[in-house]
Amino acid sequence: MIRTLDYTLYDYQQQFVRDLAISVKENDHVIGQSPGGTGKTKTFVYIGTKVCNRGGVTLILTERKNVYKQNLDEAKAIGINDKTPKYIPIQPGEFYVAMTQTLEGRPLIYEQFNRLEELGVNFQIIIDECHSGRYSNLLKKLTYGRRLGFTATPDYRQAKHLPLFYNDCVTTHNVQWFIDNHILCDYQHIQRQSGKGADKLEKRNGEFTEASQRKFFGTEDHYQELFRDLDSEPFNKCMLFCASIDHAEEVFDRMVKEGYSCSINHSKRKDAAYQVARFDKLDETNIIVTVGNMTTGYDFPEVDCVVLYRATTSLVIYLQMLFRADRKKEGMFFRTWDYGSNFDRHKAYFHDHPWTKMWFQKLKKSKKEDSISPMILCPQCESMIFVAARKCKWCGYDIPSKEGSKEMGISQDVTNKLAPLEGKKISELSPKELALFANLKNKKPLAARIARALEEQCEGYLKDYGKAMGYKQNWAYIQREMGGDLQFQDFRI
């Protein structure tokens, strides 16, 4: 049976497939790294389908039920889960998706995969989210087949098993490339000064402990800071990440008492599916409080706000949380509130990490590379200025030689997204810059009117602005037909 796919890979995905194929020929077992939201599932299902159509066997391994269902549906495959009998026949040309914990306990099944070598049948093993160490025991038992692991974050510091099972790492484009090509969303990262104390939290086994985080983030001052922030900027859907299940329950109860419309999801909630449905399908709530079980395998493009109400030493966990909001959406933008100084540890979501080295070695930090220009708020006009500045370049305020104590409630836009626009006239902005202004200042109606006016001066401006905002293709046409007053005050930002 020839399997067909109901989609076509984008050019960057096709190039990714070609690069992987070249490496596999030489190295057999290869990691494929691509940022969250760039279509890894469709890419590896395409690869697996090609193998099956040539008479081989493909097996996708996953460790989470929601990801298992997603892969099973995408590949139209035969499932191996806890309801699967201890024996099912493995046939050439077939596509299988397995929960790794289940297959590990089914020797009558996985031994058949090993015997494919005797039959001369090509066997492709695809490991979804291969940075997880839960696959290690099963991979040791699967003695035949080429391994192709996919992940957005192959970091040796949290995944020391990677060099044991893979021989190379192939990457596609970095996050900034996907932002520039309107595939992933740009973002603003706001880091609270109150989170500076998070570095003093107790650590155990390299991560901040649950107890110390619950104590740190459980103060009334922190809660009031969180509430002020949630009320200060509009959002459509918000994911709020906590340090543990108990911490999530505490935060959820506190937010409900405060009057927020919230859901909660973690592995111990019997109503977890209903809680998630209230957030997305039923649209009853606009905030979901969660822990680590939603950092992978949950794709809801309407999420445009991520709250890091926790601290983590893990780059993998940090990026997986931010990836929850990077999918295409109206505005092509999301905002992050960071209360645990995570930006200082891990840099921006669009930082270009050297994954081709990070998967097999712990890199030494370069002070020059890792330094982040510290910024402060001008006490007079609240503009972002360098911490070493003696005078605000925006209002001329003389900065005191000794910086005062940082109070709860002061924050930094560490991504400093507005800085390149400051001083420019609104009519001088490119379509992408106008989109950034619209998102940061919540001025979408005004920006749309300005775009209509600038279309008169530069044909194609509306189309490019609509693309930068993630609007539908006919948006520019509708705007042109609107007519009306196109006058606007040409102010400086």
pLDDT tens digits along 306-364: 999 999 999 999 999 999 999 999 999 999 999 999 999 999 999 999 999 999 987 66
Residue 411 scores a pLDDT above 90: no
Q: What is the pLDDT of residues 193-252, one digit of tens each?
A: 887 888 889 999 899 999 999 999 999 999 999 999 999 999 999 999 999 999 999 999
Pick from 96-100, 192-196, 384-388, 418-422: least confident: 384-388
CATH architecture of 11-174: 3-Layer(aba) Sandwich (3.40)
CA distance 66 to 296: 9
Predicted confidence band of residue 366 (pLDDT cuts 50, 70, 90)? low
Q: Is 336 left (phi over 0), alpha (psi -120 to 50) or beta?
A: beta
How sure is the predictor about 476, in pLDDT bands with cuts at 50, 70 and 90?
A: confident
Q: pLDDT tens digits, residue range 434-460?
A: 999 999 888 898 899 899 888 888 889
pLDDT at 55: 97
Q: How many CA atoms lie within 13 A of 483 on its CB side?
A: 1
Residue 398: what pLDDT? 75
| pLDDT bracket for residue 372 (50, 70, 90) | very low
Pick the range with the lowest mean pLDDT from 81-90, 175-184, 286-295, 365-374: 365-374
Stretch among 35-44, 123-132, 312-321, 359-368 having the lowest mean pLDDT: 359-368
Strand-pairing partners, residue 189, are 336
Measured CA to CA, the distance from residue 355 to residue 155 in angstroms comes to 7
Q: What is the model's pTM?
A: 0.84
What's the pLDDT at 380? Answer: 55
Could you give the CA distance from residue 450 to residue 459 in angstroms, rounded to a whole number? Answer: 13
Question: Measuring CA to CA, which residue among 415, 444, 459 is closest to residue 176?
Answer: 415
Residue intervals of the chain classified under CATH 3.40.50.300 are: 11-174, 180-352
The topology under which CATH files domain 180-352 is Rossmann fold (3.40.50)
pLDDT digits (tens, 9 = 90+) for 256-266: 999 999 999 99
Token pair recorded at residue 6: 């109901």
Predicted confidence at residue 66, as pLDDT, reads 83
Taking 90 as the threshold, does the pLDDT of residue 419 lie above it?
Answer: no
Residue 425 has pLDDT above 80, yes or no: yes
Q: What are phi and psi of 242, to 5 degrees?
A: -110, 175
pLDDT number for residue 410: 61
Distances (CA, A) of 470 to 166, 301, 361: 37, 11, 38
13: three-class secondary structure by DSSP: helix
pLDDT digits (tens, 9 = 90+) for 148-174: 999 999 999 999 999 999 999 999 999
Confidence of residue 423 (pLDDT cuts 50, 70, 90): confident
For residue 383, what pLDDT is reported?
45
Q: How far is CA 134 from CA 68, 83, 273, 290, in A?
A: 15, 20, 24, 22
| pLDDT range class, residue 382, cuts 50, 70, 90 | very low
Give the mean pLDDT of 458-477: 90
Q: Return the residue matching tokens 């645990």.
A: 340
pLDDT digits (tens, 9 = 90+) for 53-63: 999 999 999 99
Q: Is 244 left (phi over 0), alpha (psi -120 to 50) or beta?
A: beta
* Number of alpha carbons in the 13 Å side-chain half-sphere of residue 209: 8
Calculate the alpha carbon distances from 240 to 230, 257, 347 in Å: 11, 16, 19
